[in-house]
Structure 1
Amino acid sequence: MIELFDEPMCDHTTFRVGGKAKRFLVPESADDIIDAVKELEEKKEEYIVIGNGSNLLVSDEGFDGTVILISDKMNKITVEGNSIYAEAGAMLSAVARVAKENSLSGFEFASGIPGTVGGAIFMNAGAYDGEMKQVVNYVDVIENGILKKMTCDEMDFGYRHSIVMEKSMIVVGTCIDLVHGDEDAIKDKMKDLNKRRVEKQPLEYPSAGSTFKRPEGYFAGKLIQDSGLAGYSVGGAMVSPKHCGFVVNYNNATAKDIYRLIEDVTRIVYEKYSVKLEPEVRLIGVF
């Protein structure tokens, strides 16, 4: 296990903002995670578990606790028949690539999501009409210091939700079930989705992807655009004119800039349409 202190969180989030974490651990196995959590809970110290940081906003003051990073030290991907087992630190793009190379279809939707398997399970990540709950067979989690297997039904997947959000669980890996397909057709679909992503999303700036959850019956981006907020900025943070559902770090934004912008957008949309937007990003630290 790698242990660091005063680690800048701006290096571990796709927003590229955030102060320092007091302690920073990089486990290499489920046993490392179990040992770390046991120690932290015995000492009653606060901790969070992160992956690629693609859905996090960490405050400028940082995090006065321990961050456990599950990433490339736990990123093995194995294939057996029509199933793929991926450790929590594996990038979704890598899993999609392995699926394509083995002519397995059903995971194309995730090929451009810039997150890890663990993060994707945590929030039931999805894109282009696909989401994790459609492909998950089971998930290996650590709960109360014990490694256990959870079926897809037991994960209580919903829109940007899983049982992991509600309980003290840590995702270790998952088995996904796909279907045999044509490698060229899978490749073409991934290429098409990537083209659509590049055309419609502001990938040239650091962001956390879609900043807001989709309100029932509405689209967050359209509500924000119709509120006249395209290009609206606070400090170095801006509502992307390319896709108003994205808040981007376009000019050395601070976490405070981004947070204030999110608050402004939420308030203005509510004033105009009486629809309460909820952030999709997780807020870490004090704002």
Structure 2
Amino acid sequence: MTKQQMMNDLAKLIDKNNIFMDELLKNHTYTKLGGKADFFVTPTKVEEVQKIVQYAKKEKLPFTLLGNGSNVIVRDGGIRGIVLNLKQFDGIRTEGTKLIAQSGARIIDASRYALEKCLTGLEFACGIPGTVGGALYMNAGAYGGEVKDCLESAIVVDEDGNVQKVLAEDLDLSYRKSNIAEKNYIVLEACFQLEDGEFDQIKATMDDLTYKRESKQPLEYPSCGSVFKRPPGYFAGKLIQDSHLQGKGIGGAEVSTKHAGFIVNKSNATATDYIGVIEMVQKEVKSRFDVDLEREVRILGED
């Protein structure tokens, strides 16, 4: 199937103004890395998401879900087929002590909305840059809290294009992991069960966590955030620091001198540079401490 045929087909499913051919994905990732997507689509309705999923399955087309690109690296060759982005699904509302957020909303904004409504339970997310959908995908967490602590349920589209409600306990949420990828779910909406709290107390907690984040993390450079999961009994950043890797890199990518758990795009790095630094760090830490560092960040696309 030619790209023009795909464009014609997709234009029958969603507004053509929300279909982008050969879209440069470096414009949609926090690392500022990544080649082109054959098609980058941003539907506005649930029915459109269902139709796109069904179309991709019927035509056996490669299909990738991309949030706001905060915890992914897209390779320099880009991504074939359809890249689905739900940035236009960004609504947030409350029903009593429940906070319902669409998957394209930033989890930071959900946390701030909870503050406005004097609801406690999402303070930990005030510095996590990903979307709500991405936060569920990896059971995002920080400073002692994680999504599984307060998630009640999610509305998803399954691999056949059906919409269903899934309870939190059925998502197999564990450290930086869920079964969302395994089940081929596309999260549309999440429901968090929070509790009534005091505005000043919630804000003080969020201000403290924001200060810790801004003072310790290299936010002045593009990065994918924390690169590695915490190895049992260790801290990834400490192992990398003790391996004397800070400031070392490949091309324009290097291990942050501010926080060893981060790799930054310091000067027009390529995805190949960035991935090369990840592999260098893994090899050195294994050599020095016999510890395997497992990536937290996902790598997508082709070289």
Partner of 1:51: 67
Q: Does 1:75 align with 2:90?
A: yes
Matched, 1:92 2:78: no
**Which among 15, 20, 23 is matched to residue 7 of structure 1?**
23
How far residue 286 of structure 1 moved from its aligned partner, in angstroms, is 2.4
RMSD, matched Cα: 0.8
Structure 2 counterpart SS, 1:124: coil
2:216 and 2:47 map into 1 onto residues whose CA distance is 42
For residue 35 of structure 1, what is the aligned residue in structure 2? 51
Question: Separation in 2 of the partners of 1:195 and 1:125?
Answer: 19
TM-score (norm 2): 0.93
- In the other structure, the counterpart of 1:224 is 240
- Inter-partner Cα distance in structure 2 for 1:244 and 1:280: 15
1:26 aligned to 37, 42, 59, which one? 42
Query: Which string of whole-angstrom CA distances, capped at 9 and with x for unpartnered residues, describes residues 209-264 of structure 1?
Result: 10111111111101111111011111100100111000010111110100100011
The match for 2:250 is 234
In structure 1, C-alpha distance between the alignment counterparts of 2:224 and 2:247, rounded to whole Å: 17
Q: 142-151 or 17-26: which moved more?
A: 142-151
CA distance in 2, matches of 1:64, 1:38: 17
Match runs of 1:89-238 below 5 Å? 89-143=104-158, 144-238=160-254
What is the letter of the counterpart of residue 107 of structure 1?
A: L
Following the alignment from structure 1 to structure 2, what is the Cα–Cα distance between the partners of residues 208 and 201?
11
Which whole-Å CA distance do the structure 1 matches of 2:136 and 2:47 have between them? 20
One-letter code of the match for 1:218?
A: Y
Listed one character per residue, the Cα deviations across residues 39-61 of structure 1 (whole Å, up to 9, x for unaligned) are 01111010110111001100111
**Paired residue for 2:259?**
243
After TM superposition, the score normalised by the length of structure 1 is 0.98
Q: Deviations over 1:102-157 (max 9, x none)?
A: 00011011011111000000000000001000010101111121111111110110
Q: State how far apart, in whole Å, the 2-side matches of 1:32 and 1:271 are.
A: 49
Q: Shift in Å at residue 166 of structure 1?
A: 1.3
For 1:17 and 1:223, the matched residues in 2 are separated by: 26
For residue 96 of structure 1, what is the amino acid of its counterpart?
Answer: S
Does residue 255 (structure 1) correspond to residue 264 (structure 2)? The answer is no
How far the C-alpha of 1:64 sits from its partner, in A, is 1.6
Judge conservation of contact 1:123–1:165 (CA < 8 Å) in 2: no
Q: How many residues align?
A: 286
Secondary structure in structure 1 of the residue aligned to 2:73 = strand
Structure 2 match to 1:266: 282
Q: Percent identity?
A: 45
SS of residue matched to 2:174: coil
Give the counterpart letter for 1:188 in structure 2: A
Counterpart residue identity of residue 267, structure 1 = K
Aligned-partner Cα distance in 1 for 2:86–2:284: 37
Correspondence for 1:63 = 79
- Corresponding letter in the other structure for 1:80: E
Q: Which runs of 5+ in 2 are unaligned?
A: 1-13
- Cα separation, 2, equivalents of 1:65 and 1:260: 26
- Do residues 276 (structure 1) and 276 (structure 2) align? no
